[in-house]
Amino acid sequence: MSQIKELERRRTFLESLARCGREAFVDRFYERFLASSPEVRAKFAGTDFGRQRLMLLRSLELIAAAADGDEAGLDELRARAETHSRGRLDIRPALYEPWLESAIAAAAETDPRWSTDVETAWRSVLGAAVRYMSQRYDR
């Protein structure tokens, strides 16, 4: 894919995220994600969701920055991959699929201008991060 196309998708993703409404998007995301499996619910037992909500939004912004090659975004993505690895939080790669689908479903519900192009941008940007995190699970 061309660099221009990647930049367009990143821009489309960030514009969509802004339209979603922070609170509405995050609430819908966690409703869906926590309902996706008992394992996901168990991973979030005892979680401070006030803090977690802010972390999710920050993570999405960092993922977009990393997708654009931003060094700070890439550093953060590396750090998140390390904390989510088998040796730390043990977030199995199989859990990233429901995470991705929950994010896309929440965005589709909360972005008033949702379209197939917007969905493609979300899948491209977040999909790259999911692949990155999954590949580093055993490190």
pLDDT at 1: 54
Number of domains in the chain: 1
Q: What average pLDDT score do residues 67-82 get?
A: 87
Return the CATH number at 44.
Answer: 1.10.490.10
3-state secondary structure of 31: helix
Q: CA 95, CA 28: separation in Å to the nearest integer?
A: 18
Range of the domain at 52: 3-135
What are 2-60's pLDDT values in tens digits?
A: 778 888 999 999 999 999 998 999 999 999 999 999 999 999 999 999 999 999 998 99
Q: CA 127, CA 20: separation in Å to the nearest integer?
A: 19
Q: What average pLDDT score do residues 83-107 get?
A: 95
